[in-house]
């Protein structure tokens, strides 16, 4: 994060020890100091604290003062809803950024795959405990509500508790279909407000995945590998042969785990939602998805412990294969940095948002 320190902090000699505490963050590269105004820089130059710093430390601080590509907090002596007292700032900055996922056991392998291929410095941040995963407990917001209730009870914290959270929430969309329009544009099912309303009200940054869930991001290369390596009678081979005939949009919203089944029983095609029936009526070559194919793929990918073991396949996929699975998706603009008007693919977007908040 960018830590902008105002003149009144430097003008109070009693803050020298607390400034030295912040200096540990700066020297480790975890956060950066910035001086927004000439008065702030002048106060730094004339502060007692500066006299305790080595020349190399001073040069290091000045080099980082022009970098403003991160989320900013302002440190001041004055109480304010938008500014932090110095001890308050230290406690806030000491927290790792929590990436809250729906299932801590199964989801991180997917997010780590994105990190590894699109922003490897986030792997380093995780290894240094500047970033961590947090279990979201499914699609609910109970973890965030619990953190707001149980944390930040020390008297140093004077604001509404949600202002101290350092979180980024990633949720499955759980979308079951999209509509392919006559002009080949795509209409996406609108998400229920319950999925994001609490987070929006609390101003907690989040991202809802475009595809149904993480399994829908698995590259085709993994299924092609099943065709090459599976035993002759292995049902993964039959499933993969049909799945690879799906178009990109069908792959986005098909239930990889359950297929067209409910509680282990294949649904009658006519009982599916009309929009689901329409999406899966034909394969990418224009041919009908026939009843035999529907039956073979309808029970989902026959993979034991799919949520855990199949997810491990993300460890072996590369950036190029991942990009192929999202190349048809709309580009995204930053939700956390209003000044950033660049458009990015979904994976680059997630990386950019996390790096900004970190």
Q: Is 260 among the domain residues?
A: yes
Q: Which two tokens stand for residue 233?
A: 């009678």
- Domain enclosing residue 68, as ranges: 2-84
Q: Is 18 among the domain residues?
A: yes
Of the listed ranges 112-126, 179-193, 225-239, 247-261, the least confidently predicted one is 225-239
Q: Is 321 among the domain residues?
A: no
Distance of CA 107 to the CA centre of its chain: 11
pLDDT digits 0-9 by tens, 145-160: 999 999 999 999 999 9
189, pLDDT greater than 90: no
Same domain, 110 and 201: yes
Where is the domain boundary, 39, 54, 84? 84
Same domain, 56 and 110: no
Mean residue pLDDT across the chain = 93
Same domain, 25 and 118: no
Same domain, 103 and 79: no
Decide if 83 contacts 117 (C-beta within 8 A): no
Give the global pTM. Answer: 0.95
Same domain, 122 and 164: yes
Where is the domain boundary, 53, 84, 115? 84
In the chain, the number of structural domains is 3
Look at strands 167-171 and 97-101 and give their pairing: parallel
Q: Is 320 among the domain residues?
A: no
pLDDT digits 0-9 by tens, 84-111: 999 999 999 999 999 999 999 999 999 9
301, pLDDT greater than 90: yes
Q: Which residues of 178-208 are buried (b: 16+ CB within 10 A; e: fewer)?
A: beeeeeeeeebeeeeeebbebbeebebbbbe
The pLDDT assigned to 184 comes to 83
Q: Is 176 among the domain residues?
A: yes
Same domain, 168 and 307: no
Same domain, 105 and 204: yes
Average pLDDT over residues 222-249: 89
139, pLDDT greater than 70: no
Same domain, 238 and 175: no
């Amino acid at each position: 994060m960018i830590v902008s320190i105002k003149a009144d902090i430097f003008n109070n000699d009693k803050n020298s020890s607390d400034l030295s505490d912040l200096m540990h963050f700066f020297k480790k590269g975890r956060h950066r100091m910035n001086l927004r105004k000439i008065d702030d820089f002048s106060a730094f130059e004339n502060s007692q604290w500066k006299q305790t710093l080595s020349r190399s430390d001073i040069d290091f601080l000045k080099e980082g003062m022009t970098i403003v590509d991160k989320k900013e907090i302002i440190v001041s002596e004055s109480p304010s809803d938008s500014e932090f007292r110095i001890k308050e700032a230290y406690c806030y900055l000491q927290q790792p950024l929590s990436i809250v996922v729906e299932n801590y056991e199964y989801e991180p392998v997917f997010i780590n795959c994105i990190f590894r291929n699109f922003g490897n410095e986030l792997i380093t941040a995780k290894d240094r405990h500047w970033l961590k995963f947090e279990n979201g407990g499914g699609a609910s917001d109970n973890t965030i509500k619990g953190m707001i209730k149980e944390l930040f009870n020390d008297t140093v914290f004077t604001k509404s508790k949600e202002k101290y959270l350092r979180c980024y929430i990633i949720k499955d969309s759980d979308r079951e279909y999209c509509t392919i329009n006559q002009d080949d544009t795509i209409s996406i099912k609108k998400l229920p407000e319950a999925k994001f309303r609490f987070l929006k009200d609390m101003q907690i940054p989040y991202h809802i995945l475009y595809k149904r869930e993480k399994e829908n991001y698995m590259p085709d290369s993994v299924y092609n590998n099943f065709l090459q390596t599976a035993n002759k009678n292995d049902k993964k081979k039959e499933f993969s042969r049909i799945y690879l005939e799906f178009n990109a949009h069908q792959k986005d919203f098909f239930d990889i785990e359950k297929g067209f089944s409910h509680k282990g029983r294949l649904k009658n095609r006519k009982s599916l939602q009309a929009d689901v029936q329409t999406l899966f009526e034909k394969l990418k070559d224009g041919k009908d998805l026939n009843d035999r194919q529907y039956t073979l793929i309808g029970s989902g990918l026959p993979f034991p412990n799919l949520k855990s073991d199949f997810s491990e396949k993300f460890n072996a996929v590369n950036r190029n294969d991942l990009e192929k699975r999202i190349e048809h998706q709309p580009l995204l603009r930053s939700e956390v940095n209003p000044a950033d008007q660049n458009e990015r693919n979904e994976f680059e977007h997630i990386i950019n948002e996390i790096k900004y908040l970190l």
